Chains A and B, each alone.
Chain A
């Protein structure tokens, strides 16, 4: 398991583990996250499960800034966590992310 540094950052995965405009489920720091690579090549992280009925967002579809849940097609903006389409109504928790040296890091809250 990756160690958490003094500032709360933990290594999540390699940059190349995620294709552009895609999402990956990552286990690090004793927790699970959905990590996204946007079409602009920026990285983002949210809680791993849809706030509607707890389906894994890593099985969903990324389109632009949107992640669509695989179970009921609820949508969220993964950059802001905002729920954008029913049945998703409750926002997702988001986490700070940085990419350095070919690795992606998440700062645990």
Chain B
């Protein structure tokens, strides 16, 4: 059925109630059967891969940061800060994400440290986003329940474009941090952040404000905005790759389905992108089995690929679908991409997903 007016995505609006009435809240989602023995192998935690990848990431961050400082005032600083910015403002999104799931490292405190550091660099308040992301996994792309729907219908293209340099998210994060530092939450935030966790939201926001005040003070004292090139600004000028990766996960696909094969994308990417993105290109698999660490996702993909839609061959191929879809949704908000399952794939709740499977 075509949607003719702007959809209300609020978590406290009528669609939240409708989602509950339709059985879409905390519902049973489809996932392929993987033998328990194999699943245990795939879920097994290890510190090794994330220690190696984090050491490499930090080494690159420091190397390009130091080079940028040494070349500051010359054109050679530009490529240094381009790379530093991506490492700071984009790759931290996948580090934030994986450590938030607790799957990056086997050792819990390593996950906790990475989560706090990456959250700050990624401009995602740690406790706030922990609960937001838990909801995203419970009710993925369910209207009125999931606040992490990046491309709503009709899409706000201006917001998506300015978010390539993080401006929309940065502004909202700044407002949100200020509100939380003052000890307040919106009614919508209260919908997904339990009362017992709210003190952490306030405490973290105050710590962030302190850090930013110190960085700005350093810039003023030094009569240079170099300190801001290291902390703060890279969340904007280095954001573009995370924006490209992030939008590709669900944009233009079905809403209000209980099958991640229909509302998420798996995209084949080159090894450099997969290092930067920590394999989140296997996004259908991640949503089906969030216990599987990033380094085991390619193996999980091989295990369940027969039951999944054909993966996109590249990020470019995904955007060849996403861009026209979003443009069409601007004038036809009811339109979405219907993913085709392979002939031998298990259908799930066809009575509910008939419209999605129609071609």
Contacts and interface: CB of A to CB of B under 8 A. Distances in A.
A22 to B, nearest CB: 7
A60 B44 CA distance: 11
A73 interface: yes
A87 B131 contact: yes
A57 to B, nearest CB: 12
A73 B112 CA distance: 13
A85 B197 CA distance: 12
Interface string B77-121: 000000000000000000000000111001010000000000000
Contacts of A71: 137-138, 290
Interface string A70-101: 11110100000000011101000000000000
A86 B291 contact: no
16 contacts: A54-B26, A61-B43, A61-B291, A68-B291, A70-B290, A71-B137, A72-B138, A73-B101, A73-B291, A85-B108, A86-B130, A86-B131, A86-B134, A86-B197, A89-B194, A89-B197
Interface of A: 22, 52-54, 59-61, 63, 68, 70-73, 75, 85-87, 89
A72 B134 contact: yes
B289 interface: yes
Contacts of B106: 63
B290 A53 contact: no
Interface of B: 26, 39-40, 43-45, 101-103, 106, 108, 130-131, 134, 137-138, 194, 196-197, 289-291
A73 B130 contact: no
A63 B45 CA distance: 9
Q: Top 3 A-B pairs ranked by shortest CB distance? A: A61-B43, A87-B134, A73-B102
Contacts of B291: 60-61, 68, 70, 73
Determine the main DSSP class of B at the interface with A. Answer: helix
A96 to B, nearest CB: 26
B196 A53 contact: no
Chain A interface SS verdict (over half): loop
Given A22-B40, A73-B101, A73-B290, 16 more contacts: A59-B39, A60-B291, A61-B40, A61-B43, A61-B44, A63-B45, A68-B102, A70-B289, A72-B138, A72-B290, A73-B102, A85-B108, A86-B197, A87-B131, A87-B134, A89-B197
A86 B112 CA distance: 12
B26 A73 contact: no
A31 B229 CA distance: 59
A63 B46 CA distance: 11
Nearest to B108: A85
Contacts of B137: 71-72
A53 B138 CA distance: 8
B102 A85 contact: yes
A60 B108 CA distance: 17
A60 B106 CA distance: 15
B17 to A, nearest CB: 19
Contacts of A63: 45, 106
B44 to A, nearest CB: 8
